[in-house]
Amino acid sequence: MATIDDVARMAGVSKGTVSSVFSKKRPISQQVTERVLEVAQELGYFPNHLARSLAIKRTMSIGLKIPLPPDGTMTAFDTQLINGVIKECSKQGYRLVLDTLPEQEDPTLYSQDPVDGVILLNPRKNDLRIQRYLMMGTPLVLVGRSDPYDDTISYVDNNNTNVARQVGDYLLRGGHKTVLFLNASSDMTVSYDRKHGLAEAYSQHGLPMPEEYVVYYDHKLHANGTEYGYMSIMNSYGNMNYTAVITDTDRVALGVLRAARELDIEVPEQLSVIALSNDAILAQDMNPKLTSVELSAETLGAEAAKLLFEKISDKRIHRQIIIPAQLVVRESCKFLS
């Protein structure tokens, strides 16, 4: 079996150069890279990931904790974020271990893959998972902020308070007095921030925000976001007086539009709909085309990975990065005045 020494000798380069060609840890010229790869192919050499990990005392893998709903549906936000992480992993010669299993309440039962660091999505209030990784000394980056806030915990996020305030202001300026907000799970930090932002929008317009018009996703009641949106409208329309709906995701909005069709509610003439995420393909295919918020999920993933690689190199690094979000106006909203 060919070794790295064989490849280096035949290609006329050092072992370090051969290693860098495969790991991509430092730039190697195209000419040298091609020569090394040709020799490796001729000799039948394949890099031994385990041996390399033992030598450098790293697994050359990072974990991405991205729990999915019971039906296993992955949103466009999820896939775009994963793409961003994968691209950065490729640049660094790292592999990505994707963990889609729901986390247990008992921190001793959390999956503990052999990885050099972890990116954790959907942080919750007083999240035991965060404390677990910190106790283990595992480099950690959140997508979303911690609660309670701790400036020693690194994260990448949108300004969710500002996003919800902007969306609320857009609807209230358009004459909508009462908005149904189909929020994320109540224990997620993003749901608190968005509720706070919407309340600020109401306050700026001199209106109180009715608490009963803020609804939270419950994974025990809903198989996925689409069902959440559908059932929320079916159970509330006619019993509650709202002319607009803000949804946690575009998948929730899809359920809202489905319920509207079944109830003969015209969108946007009778009901305006905005999603706090933007699956551009899905939004364009919806009828009417969905007004939504571009969260730049791929950028969130890429920046989270970059920050994690920094922390793997130096655990003393603590940074918080905010990625701008933008309202994308399409056809699903109507101004009443």
CATH code: domain of residue 166: 3.40.50.2300
Number of domains making up the chain? 3
Q: List C-alpha distances in Å: 311 to 25, 100, 119, 265.
A: 16, 23, 11, 51
Q: Identify any residues that bridge with 246 across adjacent strands, giving them in sequence order.
A: 181, 274
- Other beta carbons within 10 angstroms of residue 135's beta carbon come to 9
Q: Are 315 and 216 in a shared domain?
A: no
CA–CA distance, 332 with 276 (Å, rounded to integer) = 13
Give the pLDDT of residue 289. Answer: 94
Question: Which of 16, 38, 56 is a domain's end point?
Answer: 56
Tokens representing 28 are: 């190697």
Instruction: Indicate whether 227 belongs to any domain.
Output: yes
Q: Are 301 and 153 in a shared domain?
A: yes
Give the pLDDT of residue 54. Answer: 43
Q: Are 72 and 171 in a shared domain?
A: no
Q: Are 33 and 113 in a shared domain?
A: no
Give the pLDDT of residue 46. Answer: 67
Q: Are 67 and 109 in a shared domain?
A: yes
Question: Which of 13, 30, 56 is a domain's end point?
Answer: 56
Q: Are 207 and 230 in a shared domain?
A: yes
Q: What single-letter DSSP state applies at residue 287? A: S
Give the pLDDT of residue 82. Answer: 95
Instruction: Indicate whether 204 belongs to any domain.
Output: yes
The pair phi, psi for residue 299, each rounded to 5°, is -65, -40
Instruction: Indicate whether 179 belongs to any domain.
Output: yes
User: Which 3 state secondary structure label does DSSP give 31?
Assistant: helix
H helix or E strand, kind and range, residue 143: strand 140-143
Q: Are 269 and 170 in a shared domain?
A: yes
Instruction: Indicate whether 333 belongs to any domain.
Output: no
Tokens representing 157 are: 């996020």
Q: Are 205 and 255 in a shared domain?
A: yes
- What CATH number does residue 8 fall under? 1.10.260.40
What are the mean pLDDT values of the chain's consecutive 10-residue runs (337 residues total)? 82 85 76 86 70 58 84 84 95 88 55 83 88 87 92 95 97 96 94 97 95 93 92 95 96 96 96 94 87 96 97 93 96 90
Q: Are 73 and 21 in a shared domain?
A: no
Range of the domain at 190: 160-294
Tokens representing 169 are: 């202001």
Instruction: Indicate whether 332 belongs to any domain.
Output: no
Give the pLDDT of residue 281. Answer: 82
Q: Are 73 and 13 in a shared domain?
A: no
CA–CA distance, 130 with 332 (Å, rounded to integer) = 38
Q: Are 123 and 205 in a shared domain?
A: no
Q: Are 113 and 143 in a shared domain?
A: yes
Close Cβ partners of 63 (under 8 Å, ≥ 6 residues apart)? 96, 97, 98, 99, 113, 115, 117, 118, 119
Q: List C-alpha distances in Å: 176 to 159, 169, 204, 242, 248.
A: 24, 10, 14, 8, 19
Instruction: Indicate whether 12 belongs to any domain.
Output: yes
Instruction: Indicate whether 334 belongs to any domain.
Output: no
